[in-house]
Structure 1
């Protein structure tokens, strides 16, 4: 089955499946969470033989792409790995539990998509990103997001009988243990999502300024200067930087080029 790259995963039902069913919630729907879903589906016949299983991804950002790889960002934001090295499909070189299910890396997926062998990416703004991608290309991050979205829908479309994959579009704010021993995820929209097991696949998370960053923020505030704390460049508001201003950027890694 070839899933349409622009289809969306259904919202989870309000109730848990009746036992002997089970629900696993994965908080974080970027590559870490989606990679976990791949292994859960590959091992479902062994982990839950004869049982109905729901896997729910919880994330305010689109499932698959997540925050860092979301498709709405600028094409100037590039990956730092060649397209031939980027994949979530395990092959014989991977030591893992359960069967391996190889598939195309980012470059092969882009080639097959450009040739019409796979469905086109749903977002027309990304279609011009596809043909130039080759094995050594440093592709736009938003194209990686389209690839991850396609990967996730491939997984969901090939789930074993009795196993379903859902997505809850919300930010998890708390995790509680219920009286019956199950977990309850609280989300910013006020929803309560019960689950038998919860996995936190958060990736990179924001942090409050501390140490040297807190000192720089205080110095900037006292002297009428602008200080932006460490963060993902695509999410920081640079409009407050005056035209022609001198700017100091701490660090010369990939984030430096993002800001530049």
Structure 2
């Protein structure tokens, strides 16, 4: 039986070309300690969790005029910090660990298509929303209409500095054989993202994961007590860059050592 070629996402979903620019997205990026065993389980062969056992969670939304071709959307993702793939910021004086996309939720079918096709990011539908009471911010990710992650934070408009640099993101792009059972494509993708950010003072009070019982993302919940390892609250400009293949698992399923 001949193989059926993979034809990508449904043609009714249009996605713009790479790269794409996002301007002044007000992001809440929280690094928190998670269970190391859970981090090890989710990483593909050749990647190792950073010694700090940190998950970086980013939550934001933008209006249509803040993107070059995406339109407006909201986003939440969970990334695992990894060893040996640092990028640099602050004129090369600050090392930032690489980040592997574990889970990614977006309100826009266009961005989901772009993320999955262009970079192998495990993009799924989800909506981030916020409520405010003075300086108290509640940031919520909802999937299928139900809240699954909720963050309680204190945010201000107090400007505390600016920062620029690169971030190295990674994903495992996989496409199955049309008849199942095997991968037709299995690649480790690197996404080097340039960014600038205007930083504001903020703190985090609580993070709650309320995924349905058995949902795999619940494994990346913060340890108890909550240990916030880093926090960025600010207006970020960056690119959704073109991904580059740094390893092909079909050619070498068990790469020796760290990639």
TM above 0.5, one fold? no
TM-score normalized by the length of structure 2: 0.22
Which protein has the bigger strand share?
Answer: 2
Larger helix fraction of residues: 1
TM-score, with structure 1 as normaliser: 0.22
